[in-house]
Structures are given as C-alpha cells and as structure tokens.
C-alpha cells in the first residue's frame, strides 16, 4: 500500500492501454492491459493478456472484485492465473476469494512476504477492507519466469518496499509491472513492516534502471511511466540519492 504518499487516480471505469511490439512492421499488439483501481488505496489491479491467445492474468486483486469481474467480462479474455507483486492488503486481499471463484492458481510474490499474506485478515479489519489470508501456489524468486498465454515475463526480486516484492518484465514487449517499488515521480514507502530504504534504492538502481529507458511500466498506484522518465526526473533517483 502507499496510501497518502502519492496522488490518487480517480475511481472510474478501467482504463485500457495497448503495448505495441516495436520491432514488428506493421506493429502487432501482442499485449493488452486493463487497469482497474481497487480498494480505498486506489490500487492499480491489472488485467494483463496475450492478444494472440486471449489468455489473461489478474495482477494484484486487492479488492472490489465486482469491478475486476466486470473488466474480465468486458475484455472477453480467459483468466488463467493470478499474480501478486507483494503481500500488502491493497494488492492481495481479494486473491484467495478470486482464486476460489475462477479455479486458477496464484503465483508470487517472493516468499519473504509470507508474513504479510498470513495476516491479511487482521489487516483487513484494521483498514475496513474485506480480506482473507492467502497462501500462493507458487512463490517467485529472482531468475524465475511466469507466462501469460504466449508471453513470458522475467521475475526480479526487488526488496525494499516489502521484503518479498517482485517486478515482472517482458523484455520482448518492453514493459514491466513494478508493484509499489517505483512510481511516476516517487518510490515505494519503506516505513511499513519489513521496509528497507537502502534495499529499495538498490533494487531500483541495480535491477530496474538497467532494463532500459524505453521500458514502460504499470505501477501499483497512479499513472504509468517509463524507466527513462524516472531515471531523468524522479527526485528519489538523482545524484546522491542513488548511492
Ligand atoms: Zn499499494
Ligand atoms: Zn505496497
């Protein structure tokens, strides 16, 4: 979660983005994504799909499942899995219920966020968000890959905002799902249990910035950005901040 740390996005119907593979001529939209802001934290639950197979993943179903169901039916895609970037309530609170409903498996985050996922119900009571504890079917680690239809996403373990945060990257399609690690103009908060400011900057400096300036990313809150825009303008990534 990143409540209060970033400008929220308005609570409106899902916004769709199309990613174009740049090396093809003419461009082929291989990947599409619908972003569905959910929970009082306006978390960007993302329905990501492979346009060729129309198979999809629901990434970070934190709550407001009826809005996620609407996006799935509007898109006409088949959800084959749930992916979690990390264990915070606004990202994971609805995962167990959606898994039961759709009959799919949950992949991610890294096992270091297990303590967060086990305590989601108590967290939910504190925040007034319906929440169930969840045990993923597969933990993710650095170097793993996950698939969505015919897409392959590389897994980067990026601790700092939470110890088990992961970032998912498609090097072919030039985009990433970064959870709460990096935002347009900001970075993830590090004052929650397991947070580590130095580790967060190391994750961004050593794993995200080297991906390349042209990588577009969807983050857990607020608008999309690119690695290049953040490298050049993000105040948390300038000069001595990166040491
Ligand atoms: Zn969040
Ligand atoms: Zn978070």
Q: pLDDT tens digit string along 87-122?
A: 999 999 999 999 999 999 999 999 999 999 999 999
| pLDDT band at residue 5 under the 50/70/90 scheme | very low
Class of domain 15-236: alpha beta
Domain spans of the chain, in order of start: 15-236
The ligand placed nearest to the CA atom of residue 220 is 1
- 161: CA distance to ligand 2 center in Å? 7
Spell out the residues 6+ positions from residue 15 whose beta carbon is closer than 8 angstroms to its own: 34, 35
Give residues with Cβ within 8 angstroms of 50, minimum separation 6: 30, 31, 56, 148, 149, 150, 151
pLDDT score for 127:
86
Q: pLDDT value at position 241?
A: 72
Residue 52 CA to ligand 1 centre (angstroms) = 30
| Residue 16 predicted with pLDDT over 90 | no
Q: What is the pLDDT of residues 22-52, one digit of tens each?
A: 455 555 568 899 999 999 999 999 999 999 9
Is the confidence at residue 238, as pLDDT, over 80? yes
Surrounding residues of ion ligand 2, Cβ less than 5 A: 1, 88, 180
* pLDDT, tens digit, 9 for 90 and up, residues 147-187: 999 999 999 999 999 999 999 999 989 999 999 999 999 99
pLDDT computed for residue 72 by the predictor: 95
Over residues 188-200, the pLDDT tens digits come to: 999 999 999 999 9
Nearest ligand to the CA atom of 6: 1
What is the C-alpha separation between 156 and 160, in angstroms, rounded? 13
Q: At what angle do helices 65-75 and 95-102 cross, to 10 degrees?
A: 40
pLDDT at 240: 73
- Cis omega (within 30 of 0) for bond into 116: no
Ligand 1 center from residue 27 Cα (angstroms): 33
- 140-153 average pLDDT score: 97
pLDDT in tens, 45-96: 999 999 999 999 999 999 999 999 999 999 999 999 999 999 999 999 999 9
Q: What is the pLDDT of residue 7?
A: 32
97 CA from centroid of ligand 2 (Å): 20
Distance 2 CA to ligand 2 centre (A): 6
What pLDDT score was predicted for residue 17? 58
For residue 239, is pLDDT > 90?
no
DSSP helix/strand/coil, 108:
coil
Q: Which residues does 239 contact at the CB level (< 8 Å), separation at least 6?
A: none
Q: What pLDDT sits at residue 13?
A: 44
pTM, entire model: 0.91
- Spatial CA neighbour of 83 closest among 147, 163, 126: 147
């Amino acid at each position: 979660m990143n409540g209060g740390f970033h400008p929220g996005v308005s609570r409106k119907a899902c916004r769709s983005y199309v990613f174009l593979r740049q090396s093809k001529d003419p461009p082929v939209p291989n990947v599409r994504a619908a972003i569905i802001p959910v929970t009082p934290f306006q978390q960007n639950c993302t329905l990501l799909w492979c346009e060729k197979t129309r198979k999809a993943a629901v990434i970070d179903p934190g709550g407001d499942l009826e809005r996620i169901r609407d996006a799935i039916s509007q898109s006409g895609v088949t959800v084959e899995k749930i992916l979690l970037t990390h264990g915070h309530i606004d990202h994971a609170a609805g995962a167990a219920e959606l898994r039961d409903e759709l009959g799919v498996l949950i992949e991610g985050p890294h096992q270091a966020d297990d303590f967060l996922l086990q305590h989601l119900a108590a967290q939910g009571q504190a925040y007034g968000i319906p929440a169930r504890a969840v045990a993923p079917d597969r933990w993710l680690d650095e170097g793993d890959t996950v698939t969505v239809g015919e897409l392959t996403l590389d897994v980067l373990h990026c601790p700092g905002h939470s110890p088990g945060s992961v970032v998912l990257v498609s090097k072919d399609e030039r985009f990433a799902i970064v959870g709460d690690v990096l935002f347009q103009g900001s970075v993830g908060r590090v004052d929650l249990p397991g947070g580590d400011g130095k580790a967060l900057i190391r994750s961004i400096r050593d794993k995200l910035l080297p991906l390349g300036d042209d990588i577009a990313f969807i983050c857990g809150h607020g608008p999309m950005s690119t690695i290049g825009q953040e490298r050049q303008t993000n105040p948390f990534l300038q000069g001595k901040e990166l040491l």
